[in-house]
Chain A
Amino acid sequence: MSLSKDQVQHIATLARLEIADEELSEVAEKLSRIVDFVDQLQAAPTDDVEPMAHPLNQTQRLRPDEVTEHDQRDTFQANAPAVQDGLYLVPKVIE
């Protein structure tokens, strides 16, 4: 297996995903299969090949820095799990 349980736990922490201890070995096993599968790319000769980030090789279009949207805070916050006075509530971060 190319990925250990510890490595998978580290990746899960980076990705902010909680994985139950009893699921770790199955997740590690399946992720390892994926990593082994994509490893076949290593054999492809790619010296002097430009990496491709966009299918039409377009560059990002810029727009004038103008206010075009009106305030819709109440509409957007209607979907929030917890808000107060127009602010999103999260657990206390600074003691």
Chain B
Amino acid sequence: MSGAGAALHRRTLSELARGLAHEEFTARELTEALLARVESYGKDLNAFITVTAERALQHAERADTARRNGDAGALNGLPIVHKDLFCTRGVLTTCGSRILGNFVSPYDATVVAKLRLAGAIMLGKTNMDEFAMGSSNETSYFGPVKNPWDLALSPGGSSGGSAAAVAARLVPAATGTDTGGSIRQPAALTGTVGLKPTYGRVSRYGMVAFASSLDQAGVIARSAEDAAMLLQEMAGFDRRDSTSVDQPVPDYRAAIGASLKGMKIGIVRQHFDAGLDPECEARIREALAVLEGEGATLREIDLPNIGLSVPTYYVVAPAECSSNMSRFDGVRFGHRAENPRDLSDLYCRSRGEGFGAEVQRRIMTGTYVLSAGYYDAYYLKAQKVRQLISRDFRDAFSSVDLIAGPTAPTTAFALGEKTDDPITMYLNDIYTIGANLAGLPGVSVPCGFAAGLPVGLHLVGPHFAEDRLLNCAHQYQQHSDWHTHCPEAYA
């Protein structure tokens, strides 16, 4: 490989696409270079559950042939990784759980199929909190992912493996999923860009379900431009997902060049409370000043019920989780307990052995709030408060174009620091959960450092305003360079 090849990992997805198009290097060379980094650093970070090296090289050669034949898709030859929650045909799909520890998916998720058809090369499947239930990656059956900025810290979660792999420059972009902040919070804690689209924008077919009214697939990348490039290929109607929305997909890359002049940005008063670390707040305020400098108008707004978003989420999400998790029964696929006494023993022990502590807690919380005598008091009540929270957002978007604030209350925290108390862990998603409850798109963008660790700026838009969100994020990145910072050990 040429001398330029050694630095391929430093290039963003868009830069790599240009390099491939100009035949500076081949997809095979690029794939080899990044697989070598996955080999060198993947283990220490514990970012991967499965590496699909052989298959990646085959696909890279196919991509090179396709390009020679003038048949290159939009992402032809570009390496990516998938969160291990997306079903990948013929490849282990564990969802970070023992109960799916031996599950080889018989089909591809729509997201996986679409990205493959666009020419993207999958290098492997990334580690995650078990069934995406966690905010630190510590609930994974395969052990926690480490944060590339400091290996003693959590990368956030649940898409922590995807975030760590992108932050450490093992791969230019990754898929993730976001039910309460699982793309945006790890993006903030690792200094990457994390985009959660509108509910229904991207197909959920082939995503292992956690909370079906909240789950959404998205992207972790190094720039808004790269996120736009991937979303372009992922978005769109899918008849296989009954909640997929049949609405045209705009040209996201064409949308990101617009000026911010006249854009009205709402600043949620409740998001700058005592819970926000002062250093993080300073970075957010500086980022807002940059947006203002580009012509945006800042306006303080109220979301009166947003303080109830975490408790609302911890009724709705566990309720849906308890229903979704009932499919794991030790009969049709997944882990099965040995020598069951009877059918009930088979169910109870397969599930007791197969699920980790946090997943069991959420299944039981959900079972409790849905059980006779408690349904109205908890589940129905939470659905009503969810309506109030959504209404607050709708009202806010009648006077502003976007909402901006912090993604997470602090920078990355130490592994083990929050594992004793579930509530402390849950409160990490206090600024992100609202967007899931209301089905809104959100993006986290690196906006500086507090004590040497990345801070994320959170932007939320109305339904299907991904173009506006990405435009704002891209314009911010034209006037800041925080997204180009790389942890020293991985430069």
Contacts and interface: CB of A to CB of B under 8 A. Distances in A.
Contacts of B352: 17-19
Interface string B233-252: 00000010011010000000
Contact of A35 (B200, B368, B438, B439): B368
Interface string B337-352: 0001111111111011
Contacts of B158: none
A70 B166 CA distance: 39
Contacts of A75: 106
Contact of A33 (B308, B326, B367, B423): B423
Interface string A51-95: 111111010110100000000100110111110000010111100
B364 A11 contact: yes
B365 A34 contact: yes
Contact of A40 (B308, B336, B363): B308
A55 B106 contact: no
B422 A12 contact: no
**Interface extent on A, as a size class?**
35 or more
Contacts of A50: 384, 387
A91 B342 contact: yes
Nearest to B359: A17
B210 interface: no
B316 to A, nearest CB: 9
B377 interface: yes
Query: Interface SS of chain A: helix, strand, loop or mixed?
Result: loop
B348 A16 contact: yes
Q: Which of B305, B361, B463 has the most chain A CB atoms closer than 10 A to its own CB?
A: B361
Contacts of A61: 242
A41 B310 CA distance: 10
B461 to A, nearest CB: 14
B324 interface: no
Given A12-B364, A19-B352, A91 B340 contact: yes
Given A40-B311, A56-B439, A30 B346 contact: no
A52 B213 CA distance: 10
Interface residues of B, number: 74
A51 B384 contact: yes
Given A56-B199, A81-B331, A16 B351 contact: yes
Nearest to B365: A34
B388 A49 contact: yes
B311 A37 contact: yes
A91 B341 contact: yes
A18 B345 CA distance: 8
B322 interface: yes
Contacts of A12: 364
A91 to B, nearest CB: 5
B423 A42 contact: no
A55 B437 contact: yes
Interface in B360-374: 360-361, 363-365, 367-369, 371
Given A44-B305, A53-B383, A91-B340, A18 B199 contact: no
Contact of A17 (B335, B348, B423): B348
Given A51-B380, A79-B104, A11 B239 contact: no
A86 B116 CA distance: 32
Given A15-B367, A91-B342, A38 B311 contact: yes
B381 interface: yes
Q: Which of A40, A54, A56, A93 has the most chain B CB atoms closer than 10 A to its own CB?
A: A56
5 nearest A-B residue pairs (beta carbon): A55-B439, A18-B352, A51-B383, A81-B336, A46-B384
Interface of A: 3, 8, 11-19, 27, 30-31, 33-35, 37-42, 44, 46, 49-56, 58, 60-61, 63, 72, 75-76, 78-82, 88, 90-93
Given A11-B367, A40-B308, A88-B332, 18 more contacts: A12-B364, A16-B329, A17-B363, A18-B351, A18-B353, A34-B314, A34-B365, A37-B314, A38-B378, A52-B383, A52-B386, A52-B390, A55-B200, A55-B213, A58-B245, A80-B332, A90-B331, A91-B340
17 contacts: A15-B363, A19-B360, A27-B364, A40-B311, A41-B381, A41-B382, A44-B388, A50-B384, A50-B387, A51-B383, A52-B386, A53-B383, A58-B243, A79-B104, A81-B330, A88-B332, A93-B343
Interface of B: 102-104, 106, 199-200, 213-214, 239, 242-243, 245, 305, 308, 310-312, 314-315, 322, 326, 329-336, 340-349, 351-353, 355, 360-361, 363-365, 367-369, 371, 377-378, 380-388, 390, 421-423, 426, 436-440, 463
